[in-house]
Chain A
């Protein structure tokens, strides 16, 4: 079994900056420093799980012991547009308004 030190993950400032970018979070230099330390500890703590030999264990796809939950393809009532838009910070009565998105849609 590997020792704890061998599996201690190294989380770099660059990792934190990248994850923050993906999460669209603007971090100060100080925050990057403190988060690098904190996240290293968290990941290190969780990585203790890797000490367990799971070679004989089926991967778990879902914690619930349930499968095949479906609904029929039957229409249900949608929200009224006004209600759909109500909690948006900005809208024009028809669409949600967001800061300019240039280029094509993300389109799955």
Chain B
């Protein structure tokens, strides 16, 4: 990551991001776009490319992509059309992809990314264009089965995709990852896409090369490489770090500069941690784009743009500030909350409204809700303790029924038991378990859970959370905070 400080060059990175739009149906037909359905159950003559079928544009897909473009500060073309991108591949039944070539509906935007810890300077990344196109299907080849066939599932064919292309404005792998996080957050907040990388709703290709100043003052540029097959933002970061080093080594060996060879595509192999050469990238003219005769152009009015803009809500960058102002919480608190996504912000604002004090609510969010959520995994919308229950606990603390640390124990207990606050408080005999009983219980748990013990010893203190449920089953009156603290203490004392 600190390649730039080790080596005398600038890393130059541009990204191409595809996101699946959150529509119910495909771009040109009424087939639904549910992920993970049995193969070829969401197909029709249009998305199968059968003769005589005609595409009709999904209005919501167009509106969502317009919303994305506006959020990315793009200029909106008031006249846009679609084009055929011709290539042959079994997952593309028509033999062409309907995309946008020379008149995309938006262009020249930008999105800024900052690092809260100041690892890099705030970076404004220019957006070259955002356009709307259709996805291809999926081809599967089971090499272990030893068959000569690939299997084709066309459920994904025709799913609406927003393609976002940046200028080569990023300067490190770390920046690229942070920028992608910001982009994802923005698109999730706007309801444009769920950006779920595991399900392929967000896909990233990266273009990277090095600019190396020469002694004569000239700037040497290494050949641009496009990296594909990166399945997480972490993979993107790792692939870029790897590729930067690889190109530096290549430069020192060959002094090959941009233009000396065709643009290269390399695939990221996540388990091996390397990029590998793929086919040479076809020139764009090889796709023989021509205007799509089956779709008429689309015009957009200034009024439409204004309407969409006014319905968009606050993008994360603005929300960080307004949330901090609205609830009088530190900027860092607001950043943490906003970065967790819109549902968590809704949870927080619900809680803060009930509590009436933003800072108190934020403390409970950061210390209890978020930590428990991270330990348990899952989504805030499925979190068993709702804002009213947290507000109830806080109200009892504020009333003086018990102190904050006892309140937090009650919170943990509500999480564990799935009971109401009143039930937990009523049934609480937490103090009744004396210290020697507690110690015996913890020693028992430690003996029974070598994996957790090893994790805790290895520095993963949150693993101790796994003991609490078991402790509760052994003795429902036990104080979870004490179990955790004592267990960790005992584990640390182990040889």
Q: Which residues of B contact A95 (CB under 8 A)?
A: 39-40, 140, 151-153
- Establish whether residues B153 and A99, one from each chain, have CB atoms under 8 Å apart when the complex forms: no
Contact A78 B43 (CB under 8 A): yes
State the CA gap A62–B141 with chains docked (Å): 40
Contact between A73 and B24 (Cβ–Cβ < 8 Å)? yes
- Interface: A49 (CB within 8 A): no
Q: Is the CB of A105 within 8 A of B40?
A: no
Chain A residue total in the interface (Cβ 8 A): 42
Choose from B25, B56, B90, B152 the contact partner of A70 (Cβ within 8 Å): B56
Q: Is the CB of B97 within 8 A of A84?
A: no
- Cα–Cα distance between A31 and B148 once the two chains are bound (Å): 31
B280 CB within 8 Å of chain A: no
Q: Which residues of chain A are within 8 angstroms of B135 by Cβ–Cβ distance? A: 107-108
CA distance A67 to B298 in the complex (A): 6
Contact, CB under 8 Å: A70 / B203: no
Decide: B89 and A81 in contact? CB cutoff 8 A: no
- A98 lies within 8 A of chain B by Cβ: yes
Tell me which residues across on chain B come within 8 A of A94, comparing CB atoms.
38-40, 151
Say yes or no for B184: interface residue by CB 8 A criterion. no
Closest to B99 in A: A108
A96 & B151 in contact (Cβ 8 Å cutoff): yes
Establish whether residues A75 and B136, one from each chain, have CB atoms under 8 Å apart when the complex forms. no
Say yes or no for B32: interface residue by CB 8 A criterion: yes
Contact, CB under 8 Å: B41 / A81: yes
Q: Is A69 an interface residue (CB 8 A)?
A: yes
A22 CB contacts on chain B under 8 angstroms:
86-87, 286, 288
**B31, A78: Cβ atoms closer than 8 Å:** yes
Q: Are A76 and B138 in contact, with the CB atoms below 8 A?
A: no
| Chain A 35-79 interface 0/1 with B at a Cβ cutoff of 8 Å (1 = within) | 000000000000000000000000001111011111111111111
Contacts of B92 in A (CB 8 A): 106
For residue A102, which residues in chain B have a CB less than 8 angstroms away from its CB?
141
Contact status B90-A96, CB under 8 Å: yes
| CB-based nearest A residue for B47 | A78
For B23, the chain A residues whose CB sits under 8 A away are: 73
> Complex formed: what's the CA distance from A74 to B30 in Å?
6
Binary B-proximity of A6-34 (CB < 8 A = 1, otherwise 0): 00000000000000001110000000000
A1 within 8 A of B: no
The verdict on A73 contacting B60 (CB below 8 Å), with A81-B39, A106-B89, A106-B91 known, is yes
CB-CB under 8 A from B229, the residues of chain A are 104
- Counting from the closest, the 10 A-B pairs by CB-CB distance are A76-B30, A95-B151, A73-B60, A70-B59, A96-B152, A101-B150, A106-B89, A98-B90, A61-B81, A71-B56
19 example contacts (A-B, Cβ-Cβ < 8 A) are as follows: A22-B86, A61-B297, A64-B296, A67-B296, A68-B296, A71-B30, A78-B30, A81-B39, A84-B44, A90-B149, A95-B151, A96-B90, A97-B150, A98-B90, A99-B148, A99-B150, A100-B150, A101-B89, A108-B97
> Which residues of chain A have a CB within 8 Å of any CB of chain B?
22-24, 61-64, 66-79, 81, 84-85, 87, 90, 92, 94-108
Interface residues of B (CB under 8 A from A): 18, 23-25, 29-32, 38-45, 48, 50, 56-62, 79, 81, 86-92, 97, 99, 103, 133-141, 148-154, 161, 163, 203, 228-229, 267, 278, 286, 288, 291, 293, 295-299
| A-B contact sample (16 more), CB < 8 A, given A78-B42, A98-B149 | A68-B298, A69-B57, A69-B295, A69-B296, A70-B62, A73-B25, A73-B58, A76-B30, A81-B39, A84-B48, A95-B40, A96-B90, A98-B150, A105-B138, A107-B18, A108-B99
